[in-house]
Amino acid sequence: MRPLYLTNTLSRQKELFKPIHEGHVGMYVCGPTVYGDAHLGHARPGVTYDVLFRLLKYLGYKVRYVRNITDVGHLEQDADEGEDKIAKKARLEQLEPMEVVQYFTERYHEAMRLLNTESPSIEPRASAHVIEQIAAVKAILEAGYAYESNGSVYFDVQKYNRDHNYGVLSGRTLEATLEGTRTLDGQSDKRAPYDFALWKKAEPQHIMRWPSPWSDGFPGWHLECSVMGAKYLGEEFDIHGGGMDLMFPHHECEIAQNVASRGTQGVHYWVHNNMITIDGQKMGKSYGNFITLPQLFAGDHPKLSQAYSPMTVRFFILQAHYRSTLDFSNDALQAAEKGYKRLMQAWRALGNEILSASRPRNDNNSVIPSNNSVIPSDNSVIPSEASVSPEITAITEAVLDALCDDLNTPIAIAHLFEAVKIINGGKLSQADASALKQLFDEVVGGVLGLKDEEAGASGKAEKALDGVMGLVLDARKKAREEKNWAESDRIRDTLASFGITVKDTKDGATWSLN
């Protein structure tokens, strides 16, 4: 199996990936809080971990990919006070909270589908795992790393830090954390400002609440990922992904909860994607500077000069390394659109080259028209490795090496464009064309998850035309069987007026476009 290297935030080093169980990978990724449409910032982790998921499977691993839906407990400003984001949206829209959750979960799924991301293996919701979260709070209390205050339960960060290291992931000291902690109303329930909620007592007006030993309330935001990761992947698993903005406090708190409740950090590789910025500032709902994916696809936003297709957006994201910032601009998206189209044109050219070689020819070496446009099932035009040129082999290896070197998609794409130059040069041997077609199919369409939007549309049209022509030729065949030559000729002549030629052979009628 080809070695894979990932940058582990925990060690701050690029490490050789070694799964806990050989041949199997458990991966957990923080999903959305569903109270509004997904924006461009949500697209980046969606695409990044989709590529990692695809790459792991391509390398031969069996992967369980868990991505949660946060539908309770995520308060405004990511704090321990204030209103639940979903409950607030429900109150403003005069809806039940779970109506908000259902609506925006479906909208998120549709946006991810358009971006061609694969569905996770499991997509648990926080509200469906409250019992498990209550059990985790009890375990942390019993271990002595939490305390109850007025019906809420808080994690005792200072006590934990004396025995362990609160800051092991983010590198923050407790003093620095204290300096950066906001003063909020109601924090008197805590012993220290940096303590965080494991369970919150619900105020009378709070809609979402569950009974617990401490109060009718709801779990803290950080707790859900600790609990659901352990439930579906085990107390120790391979990869935890998410945005760099979640490293602190969310992921730092996860580690503390894991150690306090079960004695292990739980995760072997922490992988973080960087942010998408707009005018140099992180794009996010809390900043009010976000562009939703539906707006992006429709071109419906003051900062957009045009609409951008889902595959253009996916290509835009892949052009930057996942650990680097990516700044939004119309110029950058337009450049991505041009690059994406060049890549797709080359992919189509490869398909046409192989298709042409695979079609039967007559004595004059011209292709015999046929409505069957697939490569023969015996793969007779696929070359042996020995017949592929060293140049094409080197490009293939370079692309795969880049992807396995910490998911370096921009370098992989750069090598793919080396192939594009060769394809556009028009001097490919059949062996090299087939090798490149396999590379594009498996990497461009497979690992990178790009699809040809133009070919997709034309492919649907071709499939529809094939179906219609099948019906028409069946009707003509029936007319001929009934010796209704006038009707048979009428169908043939009408099709000819549309640019479709029908030929009668000993094996039946064939058709082709003029």
In this structure, what is the dihedral angle of CA atoms 455, 457, 461, 466, given to the nearest 10 degrees?
A: 50
* Whether residue 210 sits in one domain with residue 87: yes
β-pairing, 5-8 with 13-16? antiparallel
- Comparing 284 with 298, the larger pLDDT belongs to 298
pLDDT at 462: 57
Q: Are 104 and 34 in contact (CB under 8 A)?
A: yes
* Whether residue 426 sits in one domain with residue 468: no
Upstream peptide bond of 211 is cis (omega within 30 degrees of 0): no
Give this prediction's pTM. Answer: 0.83
pLDDT at residue 424 is higher than 90: yes
- Comparing 322 with 204, the larger pLDDT belongs to 322
For 335-353, the pLDDT digits (tens) are 999 999 999 999 999 988 6
Q: Which domain-ending residue is among 293, 327, 361?
A: 327
For 149-206, the pLDDT digits (tens) are 999 999 999 999 999 999 999 999 888 777 655 444 444 689 999 999 999 999 888 8
Q: Which domain-ending residue is among 327, 351, 369?
A: 327
pLDDT at 207: 84
β-pairing, 276-278 with 326-328? parallel
Specify if 7 maps to a domain. no
- Comparing 375 with 157, the larger pLDDT belongs to 157
Minimum mean pLDDT among 30-44, 440-454, 462-476: which range?
A: 462-476
DSSP string, 65-77: EEE-BB-SS-BGG
- Comparing 460 with 397, the larger pLDDT belongs to 397
* Whether residue 500 sits in one domain with residue 443: no
β-partners of residue 154 are 147, 197
For 255-287, the pLDDT digits (tens) are 999 999 999 999 999 999 999 998 778 777 667
Using CA atoms, how far apart are residues 450 and 310, in angstroms rounded to an integer? 10
pLDDT at 367: 41
* Whether residue 39 sits in one domain with residue 135: yes
What CATH number corresponds to the domain at position 222?
Answer: 3.40.50.620
* Whether residue 493 sits in one domain with residue 466: yes
CA distances from 253 to 167, 265, 394, 438 (A): 9, 11, 45, 44
pLDDT at 376: 32
**Residue 32 amino acid letter:** P
CA distances from 32 to 43, 118, 135, 362, 430 (A): 10, 16, 24, 58, 46
The range of the structural domain enclosing residue 375 comes to 338-451
Specify if 264 maps to a domain. yes
pLDDT at residue 77 is higher than 80: no
* Whether residue 182 sits in one domain with residue 83: yes
Query: H-type helices in 28-68, by residue range?
Result: 40-58
Specify if 8 maps to a domain. no
Number of domains in the chain: 3
* Whether residue 299 sits in one domain with residue 157: yes
Mean pLDDT of the chain: 88
- CA 417, 418, 421, 422 dihedral sign is negative
pLDDT at residue 441 is higher than 90: yes
Taking the mean position of all CA atoms in its chain, how far away is CA 407? 14
SS3 38: coil
* Whether residue 56 sits in one domain with residue 196: yes
* Whether residue 417 sits in one domain with residue 318: no
Q: Which domain-ending residue is among 294, 327, 360?
A: 327
pLDDT at 361: 41
Using CA atoms, how far apart are residues 207 and 215, in angstroms rounded to an integer? 14
Highest mean pLDDT among 407-411, 489-493, 506-510: 407-411
Cβ neighbors of 185 (< 8 A, separation 6 or more) are 81
For 208-262, the pLDDT digits (tens) are 899 999 999 999 999 999 999 999 999 999 999 999 999 999 999 999 999 999 9
* Whether residue 62 sits in one domain with residue 35: yes
Starting at the edge strand found earlier in the chain, the sheet holding 152-155 runs: 146-149, 152-155, 196-201, 217-219
Using CA atoms, how far apart are residues 110 and 116, in angstroms rounded to an integer? 10
In this structure, what is the dihedral angle of CA atoms 395, 401, 402, 405, given to the nearest 10 degrees?
A: -170
pLDDT at 127: 94
